[in-house]
Amino acid sequence: SQQGEEDPQALSIQEGENATMNCSYKTSINNLQWYRQNSGRGLVHLILIRSNEREKHSGRLRVTLDTSKKSSSLLITASRAADTASYFCATGGSYIPTFGRGTSLIVHP
């Protein structure tokens, strides 16, 4: 299975702190994506990193990919209460995406 698994399962921080969550997967991938899900809503795409990329930035988001370790990390800098959500990584070798169980992030104001 290419299923990504996020770590930690839950993360609680104060506003202004950085939040780091990790994703590990088992087989080779074409790209890896991170999504956010607010309570009661659908998933929202955050960032896609290709297998030949090592780091990617988007606003306060920084994603790294280490294909040798089959792992990725998502860093949210200067967190805000509005960042409270679940974060999922999705891996795909072809067209079938596989989502992990997610990291639940709570940012306290």
Residues that bind other proteins (CB under 8 A): 30-31, 33, 35, 41-45, 48, 88, 90, 92-102
* Shortest CB 23 distance to other proteins, Å: 13
* Shortest CB 92 distance to other proteins, Å: 3
The tokens of 94 are what?
A: 């072809």
- CA proximity to 30, closest of 53, 56, 50: 50
Residues in a beta bridge with 75: 20, 62
* Shortest CB 44 distance to other proteins, Å: 7
CB-neighbour burial class of residue 53 (10 A; exposed 0-12, middle 13-18, buried 19+) = middle
Q: Select 13 or 97, whichever has its Cβ closest to other proteins.
A: 97
